Chain A
């Protein structure tokens, strides 16, 4: 891992530390106890919660802040159209826990372990398309069978719901990308985004992930950090983000233009079967003239 990435992850880990954020929230709540909370203060509370990775509490906080959007789309954790204190857009986010029956997730996990020899080091999609352990250390395979069609159908069947919840125009899908990934000891993915173009250009539009692992999990770390971003100007925040823990049986989706990173994964013993697995997908859209926000 490049030194700059290590420094960034250290900072994200400290800022996202659950204990620190819990202490700050407790102080904030104490300060607000005697006053009628205003929108700024509620937003601050939600920011602390999403930094700490408390998805349920984050959803509750945004239900108070933006009740309409959250009631209309129960799968939303963070509604669209919000900005953080430094003016970056907060990535709207869908998180669905316990997506599959336990037996289905177990079948997928066993399949992934059975096809361990198909996994290769992921290459970077930008630049020279090379394996670069300074920027990414991920094992990946495009070839898997169990639940592959299920996930493709699930995302296709829920496309309109996801688009509406995330306030994305109803783009058409040109191609649906799907792969299995595994992060072992030291695995990570540097800050990047999956689409560098404007909304109207052809490219990836929706990024989704489904996490699975041994039960109980035998890894730590590997959090997904979705940084508040300025998609139109290729910028992102260094201190405002949403942390998503890679909890088994959790589905996550967000617009592909937002910067994100996978924090370092720790797998004691480094056995393939003990890694942080995910089904990872992207919906590709053609060029269009829809009303994109970036």
Chain B
């Protein structure tokens, strides 16, 4: 949870209406963001650790810490799989 991630350089975003879509230029697959995903994505700024993001979301959405951390890890894992985020040191 101490890892830091930032959007990959070649990620494209569409914010048409309620639907936010990410696409990696490398892979070309779409990833749609729901409200939670959107909230996590907006916090992946290359500075905040996953733990900090989970803590922030826990305050905003009033959900248990374990659930929040699990959701952040799963979502970021999915983004990594699609090469939409890159780790930062």
- Closest-by-CB residue of A relative to B14 is A23
Q: How many contacting A-B pairs (Cβ < 8 A)?
A: 49
Please tell me which stretch of B21-29, B41-49, B59-67, B71-79 contacts chain A, meaning at least 4 of its Cβ atoms lie within 8 angstroms of it: B21-29
Give the contact-size bracket for chain B.
10 to 19
Q: Does A20 lie within 8 Å of B19, measured CB to CB?
A: yes
B70 at interface by CB-CB < 8 Å: no
Cα distance, A47 to B29, chains bound together (Å): 11
A84 at interface by CB-CB < 8 Å: yes
Cα distance, A41 to B17, chains bound together (Å): 26
Q: With A24-B12, A24-B14 given, is the CB distance from A14 to B32 under 8 Å?
A: yes
| Choice from A14, A19, A84 contacting B28 with Cβ under 8 Å | A84
Q: Does A28 lie within 8 Å of B12, measured CB to CB?
A: yes
In residues 3-19 of chain A, which contact B (Cβ within 8 Å)? Answer: 14-15, 17, 19
A162 at interface by CB-CB < 8 Å: no
- Closest-by-CB residue of A relative to B16 is A19
| Choice from A15, A20, A47, A239 contacting B16 with Cβ under 8 Å | A20
Q: Residues of B contacting A24 with CB < 8 Å?
A: 12-14, 21, 23
Q: Residues of A contacting B32 with CB < 8 Å?
A: 14
Most chain-B CB neighbours within 10 Å: which of A14, A40, A44, A47? A44
B15 at interface by CB-CB < 8 Å: yes
Q: Does B25 lie within 8 Å of A239, measured CB to CB?
A: no
| Choice from A44, A84, A240 contacting B25 with Cβ under 8 Å | A44
| Choice from A23, A44, A86 contacting B15 with Cβ under 8 Å | A23
A31 at interface by CB-CB < 8 Å: yes
- Closest-by-CB residue of A relative to B20 is A20
A27 at interface by CB-CB < 8 Å: yes
Cα distance, A41 to B26, chains bound together (Å): 9
Cα distance, A87 to B24, chains bound together (Å): 16
Q: Residues of B contacting A41 with CB < 8 Å?
A: 25
Q: Residues of B contacting A14 with CB < 8 Å?
A: 19, 21, 30, 32
Q: Residues of A contacting B27 with CB < 8 Å?
A: 85-86
Q: Residues of B contacting A28 with CB < 8 Å?
A: 12, 25
Q: Residues of A contacting B17 with CB < 8 Å?
A: 19
Q: Residues of B contacting A86 with CB < 8 Å?
A: 27-29
Cα distance, A24 to B27, chains bound together (Å): 14
Q: Residues of B contacting A17 with CB < 8 Å?
A: 16, 19
Q: With A14-B19, A44-B25, A240-B28 given, is the CB distance from A20 to B14 under 8 Å?
A: yes
Please give me the 5 A-B residue pairs with the lowest Cβ-Cβ distance, nearest first.
A23-B14, A85-B28, A19-B16, A20-B14, A27-B12
Q: Which residues of A contact B (CB under 8 A)?
A: 14-15, 17, 19-21, 23-24, 27-28, 31, 40-41, 44, 47, 84-86, 239-240
- Beyond contacts A20-B21, A24-B21: 19 other A-B pairs, Cβ-Cβ < 8 A, are A14-B19, A17-B16, A19-B16, A20-B16, A24-B14, A27-B12, A28-B12, A28-B25, A41-B25, A44-B28, A47-B28, A84-B28, A85-B26, A85-B28, A86-B28, A86-B29, A239-B29, A239-B30, A240-B28
